[in-house]
């Protein structure tokens, strides 16, 4: 079985929790999460966490994206199953690279929504990725992309189960209204990212910027 440290080193990741190894890309943490399965070894997931929540703990408690590494048949891979884990990660998770143009990164997130069947059928998972795109866009002061996120959500929100939506996000109309508050949301996002970036757990991480 390939060692977790070898995989982390290959992608320049460092541990922020005992199971999550990431690098910082401006306003997000991107990396790999290793989940121990009872009576088996580890499954591996590509994960992205925001840095714009009010505390670092709230940022890393739950990822906004969690994608399993799978084999050619779409089945989850265990670390003991394969000797080409690093190559598979590079192929399946292009956003894991620290060298991504911001526009390409956003396109990659939209592509996940469009192609991942488990996300296509689960609007809460879609909303998490929309939050990622929206947060990255406002942090980079790209209001055009943030407006596109609003349009995408507003075009679909009426078809989403209201009770489930209310549980996760509150009232639909209020959610849409808040999404349009671009300037105040941008200020909040930048302020929280700047504060969380100085947390000792984040300072020690490898750091990248989106390419222009």
pLDDT digits (tens, 9 = 90+) for 161-186: 999 999 999 999 999 999 999 999 99
Mark out the alpha helices in the chain (DSSP H runs): 4-10, 56-60, 85-92, 102-115, 117-120, 123-139, 143-156, 162-169, 172-179, 182-197, 200-203
Cα Rg for the chain, rounded, in angstroms? 17
Q: Is the dihedral of CA 113, 116, 120, 126 positive or negative?
A: negative
Regions of the chain where pLDDT drops below 50: none
pLDDT score at 117 = 87
User: What predicted TM-score, i.e. pTM, was given to this entire model?
Assistant: 0.94
Q: Characterize 165-187 residue by residue with b for buried, 16 or more Cβ atoms within 10 angstroms of its Cβ, and e for exposed.
A: beeebeebeebeeebeebeebbe
Domain ranges of the chain: 4-206
């Amino acid at each position: 079985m390939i060692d977790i440290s070898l995989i982390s080193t290959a992608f320049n990741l460092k541990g922020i929790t005992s199971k999550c190894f990431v690098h910082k890309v401006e306003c997000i943490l991107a990396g790999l999460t290793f989940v121990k399965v009872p009576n088996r070894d580890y499954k591996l997931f590509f994960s992205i966490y925001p840095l714009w929540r009010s505390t670092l703990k709230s940022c890393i408690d739950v990822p906004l994206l969690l994608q399993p590494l799978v084999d050619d048949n779409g089945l989850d891979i265990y670390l003991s199953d394969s000797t080409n884990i690093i190559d598979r990660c590079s192929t399946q998770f292009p956003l894991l690279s620290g060298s991504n143009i911001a526009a390409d990164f956003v396109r990659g997130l939209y592509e996940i929504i469009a192609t991942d069947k488990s996300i296509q059928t689960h609007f809460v998972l879609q909303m998490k990725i929309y939050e990622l795109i929206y947060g990255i866009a406002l942090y980079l002061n790209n209001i055009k992309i943030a407006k596109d996120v609003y349009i995408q959500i507003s075009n679909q929100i009426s078809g989403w189960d209201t009770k489930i939506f209310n549980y996760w996000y509150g009232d639909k109309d209020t959610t849409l209204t808040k999404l349009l508050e671009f300037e105040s949301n941008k200020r909040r996002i930048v302020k929280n990212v700047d504060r969380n970036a100085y947390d000792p757990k984040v300072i020690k991480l490898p750091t990248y910027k989106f390419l222009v």
